[in-house]
Copies of this chain bind each other. A is one copy, B any other.
Amino acid sequence: MNNLHLNSENKSFGGKLGFYSHPSTTCNGEMRFAIYQPPQAAEKPVPVLYFLSGLTCTEENFMIKAGAQYWAAKYGMILVAPDTSPRNTGIPGEDDEWDIGTGAGFYVDATKKPWQSHYQMYTYITQELPTVINSNFPTLPDQQSIFGHSMGGHGALICALRNPQKYKSVSAFAPIAAPMICDWGQTIFSLYLGDNQENWQAYDASQLIQKLGYHSSILIDQGTADQFLTNQLLPEEFIQACEKVNQPLNFRYQPEYDHSYYFIASFIADHIHHHAIALGLA
């Protein structure tokens, strides 16, 4: 009914990992995602944990590199990893830079030309994609959580903070924690949202947490050897914002870890456990 196309499928940890594409009305073109269904999903509906990836990633990276399926099979949760942007939209320059356009949707709804025609990732992630997933897979629609890495850590935070009723829990690996004041965020927000910085605040976790708070503790891991730590990620902004409003935050600096999926894999068990508790699975 949603015109899902299964591009490939692999058996994995007793469950199945599928790579799908589908026509997205929100993004006005084809979108792709990966979904891991644990063995428990063959018997009954299960909770869903969404993972948002970082710059340059596709729907594949997380499923190949994070080692998450082992834990999803253990607890009995579906994992969904969407692509990080629309692709092949025809927008001029979409493929010119690795941190603009393709692979760099930044999880916002663009309001500026030429991006607004397709780059509606915020609505896609929070509304259309869950509808597609819940309509086609054995999910418990009221039991979903979200996490992500880097640009996707930013994405997970803004999606959860703005939709606390939709997401039981949120966590992040090395998120872009204050996009309004880092180069990546300023560049993208100018292009996608225009120069009025009031319109940026709805997509900045360090701003949002002060206005909205969140109903449960937020888990964040950050490597101290991360090459983007002090120039792009700026987690101290988010830590201070949480302190200002007494938001529970379990922020862990992880000594010597970098920005790679080797870092994510090293702490994936803790993150999935965090969500499993919120989803009633642990």
**Are the C-beta atoms of A10 and B65 separated by less than 8 Å?**
no
Asked whether A29 is an interface residue with its Cβ less than 8 Å from the other chain, the reply is no
Partner of A11, one of B12, B17, B67, B263: B263
The oligomer's copy count stands at 2
B residues in contact with A12, CB < 8 Å: 262-263, 265-266
> How many A residues, CB 8 Å from partner?
24
B residues in contact with A225, CB < 8 Å: 11
**Are the C-beta atoms of A64 and B261 separated by less than 8 Å?**
yes
- Secondary structure of the A contact surface, majority rule: mixed
Most buried by B among A67, A223, A254, A269: A67
B residues in contact with A11, CB < 8 Å: 223, 225, 254, 256-258, 262-263, 266
B residues in contact with A65, CB < 8 Å: 64-65
Distance in angstroms between the alpha carbons of A17 and B254 in the assembled complex = 16
* Nearest-CB residue, chain B, relative to A266: B13
**Are the C-beta atoms of B223 and A265 separated by less than 8 Å?**
no
Most buried by B among A69, A254, A266: A266
* Nearest-CB residue, chain B, relative to A61: B64
Distance in angstroms between the alpha carbons of A258 and B254 in the assembled complex = 36
- Cβ < 8 Å to B, chain A residues 151-174: none
**Are the C-beta atoms of B67 and A262 separated by less than 8 Å?**
no
Asked whether A23 is an interface residue with its Cβ less than 8 Å from the other chain, the reply is no
Q: A65-B65, A67-B67 are in contact. Are A14 and B265 (CB under 8 A)?
A: no
- Cβ < 8 Å to B, chain A residues 79-104: none
- Cβ < 8 Å to B, chain A residues 130-147: none
Query: What 0/1 readout, one digit per residue, does chain A (43-63) give for beta carbons within 8 Å of chain B?
Result: 000000000000000000000
The 8 residue pairs across chains A and B that have the minimum distance between CB atoms: A67-B67, A10-B262, A11-B256, A12-B262, A11-B257, A13-B266, A10-B260, A12-B266
Besides A10-B260, A12-B263, A69-B266, 15 new A-B residue pairs in contact (Cβ under 8 A), listed by A number: A10-B258, A10-B263, A11-B223, A11-B258, A11-B262, A11-B266, A12-B265, A13-B265, A13-B266, A64-B65, A64-B261, A65-B65, A69-B265, A70-B70, A70-B269
